[in-house]
Amino acid sequence: MNVLLNLEQQISLLDSLRDAVIITDMQYVIQGWNAGAATMYGWEAEEVLGRPFASVVPQEHIGISRAEAIARFLRDGHYEGEAVQTRRDGSQLSTWAKATLLRNEKGDPMGVVALNRDITARRQAEKALSQRLEMEQFIAEIAARFINLPANQVDDGIDGTLKLVAEMSGAVRSSVFLFHDNLATLTNTHEWCADPADSLKARAQNVAVRDLQLTMMRFAAGDNLIISHAEDVENLPGLNTWMAEFGFRAMLFVPMFYQGELVGALGFYGPVGVEMVWSDIWVTMLTLLTTVIVNALWRKRADEQMQAYAAELQRSNNELQEFAFVASHDLQEPLRKISTFAERLHQRQGDRLDARGLDYLQRLQRSSGRMQSLLDGLLLYSRVQTQAHAFRVVNLTDVWQGVVADLEAHIEQVRGRVTIYPLPTIEADATQMRQLFQNLLHNALKFHRPDVPPIVEVYGQQVEVDGRDLLEIRVSDNGIGFEPKYSERIFGVFQRLHGRTDFEGSGLGLAICRKIALRHFGHITAQSEPGKGTVFIVLLPFTQLPASQKMI
């Protein structure tokens, strides 16, 4: 016992450590407890000496059972791993534990010395990074989904979005309110409830807001209404009465604006009788969501009143398009920080993580890469309209040759062959023609059959469609092909026929191709069969009508 006794006497030397140093005998009864352990767990040494460690600090090992951990420790003489432990006050912390078996002069086991490090902050940071990435990707995908959503599907799209966002936040109810009559009345237009029987939508139709003037003033000023406790609404007449009537204690309202005018509010509600804290990241994400919802609703209105509001419909489409660009651009910086800190975490703390921790970190880095690809694609998609150039005479053969030169290294890498037959000149946006052809060639090179070098041929001919002469460009390859039933789906935003592990990409390349073709008052289709290659057919006018110079 001399070794164990000496360690107990020396433990005071370890009191300067922030880590917990704990000594036990072979029955795991505590014999030594430094100041770091007292700070970490809330127990003073005199309170725990002589007590079993498990009775003082309940714990659950991560990725391994207690019995397996003990067996490994006794077999190897040491153990290292992560655990979730419980403090004296009942709160939990994540720790990284290193335990070593102590032996006497004869080599017989006689005790254990453990060094436990608090890694709670690191785990919380990893979780926060992962949650932020997940929510930012979620909002970006919602924005892209609403861009081309038909007007007759907008209501269902909003209802579905309310459900998804509410469930992610822990809310039991979410609503969209629109204001009318110079902010004198409100109507609950969309609602999701965890229990449909609790719906309040029918009771909130054309309701006078005279008792909510202070609330409306805050909305008009652009202020969010964040209520985590019932006391937060004591100075908001009308709202506090309404909350008391239905038992709500936590709510979040984000005002909605259209062209700078207050038009409504987006609301989320915590469970009845339960207080909630709404994080800053949720408020930011929901503010972005209001822009998506407002633009979708106004597009729907314009479609329903097409003749009277044709100009409004165009403006709404443009604003929604611009939102995809702004949202994607604004998310670049936080995403860059997520990627940077994840890489730093891997470099500086990677050797301290177990297999599970490394797996989580690698998932975070892969998700960050996919998010970057998605945002880049969204930016390109939106720029088809926002950064377009005027039409001019363009030699398409020259454009194609430039694209082939740009992708020369890729073509050589896959041992491909590209043949460009002479093409005419047309009136077009040269930059967008280059982007269109580059996407099509990249697509042909990517989806080639294993061990079969890709062969791509590009040729054109004049065709007549509805009495108008058009240029038909065919881009054919000998790749893997696809089922004919997917010939339209592949041009949708974020549409993929293969998993990310099979072929990289954001699912936006062909959507960009179609958007470019439409902007040129043309069209693009595809013909294919599995294993027999694909032919992309692009129809473009030789000359543009004067109205098209407006680049709508």
Q: CA–CA separation, 271 vs 303, rounded Å?
A: 37
Find tokens 């998804």 and name the residue. 164
Whether pTM exceeds 0.85: no
What is the tally of helices (H) and strands (E) in the chain?
16, 19
From first to last of its 552 residues, the chain has per-residue pLDDT tens of 455 555 555 555 566 678 899 999 999 999 999 999 999 999 999 999 999 999 999 999 888 888 898 889 889 989 999 999 999 999 999 999 999 998 888 888 889 999 999 998 888 888 878 877 777 777 778 878 887 788 888 889 999 889 988 888 788 889 999 998 888 888 999 999 888 767 888 888 887 877 777 778 888 888 888 877 666 666 666 676 766 666 667 788 899 999 889 999 998 888 766 667 777 777 888 888 888 889 888 888 877 766 554 455 566 556 556 655 665 556 666 767 777 777 887 788 777 778 887 777 777 777 676 666 566 656 666 656 555 667 889 999 999 998 898 888 889 998 999 999 999 999 998 888 888 998 899 888 888 888 889 999 999 999 988 778 899 999 999 988 888 888 888 887 665 665 454 445 556 778 888 888 988 889 999 998 888 889 999 999 998 876 433 333
Q: CA–CA separation, 429 vs 423, rounded Å?
A: 16
Q: CA–CA separation, 429 vs 322, rounded Å?
A: 20
- Cβ atoms of 249 and 273 within 8 Å: the answer is yes
Give residue 150's identity as a one-letter amino acid code. Answer: P
The number of CA neighbours under 13 Å toward the Cβ of 388 is 26
Exposure string (b/e) for 230-239, b if CB count within 10 Å is 16 or more? bebbeebebb
Q: Which CATH superfamily is domain 2-118 in?
A: PAS domain (3.30.450.20)
Q: CA–CA separation, 101 vs 287, rounded Å?
A: 55
- Cβ atoms of 298 and 317 within 8 Å: the answer is no
Q: CA–CA separation, 541 vs 38, rounded Å?
A: 79
In this structure, the chain runs to a length of 552
The first and second tokens of residue 291, run together, are 């822009």
Fold that domain 388-550 belongs to in CATH:
Heat Shock Protein 90 (3.30.565)
Q: CA–CA separation, 132 vs 130, rounded Å?
A: 6
Domains 124-384 and 388-550 equal at CATH topology level: no
The first and second tokens of residue 97, run together, are 């534990």
Candidate CATH numbers 3.30.450.40, 3.90.1150.10, 3.40.50.10090, 3.40.50.2300; the one for domain 124-384: 3.30.450.40
> What ranges do the domains of the chain cover?
2-118, 124-384, 388-550
Can you point out the beta strands (E) in 259-313?
Answer: 261-269
Q: CA–CA separation, 513 vs 490, rounded Å?
A: 11
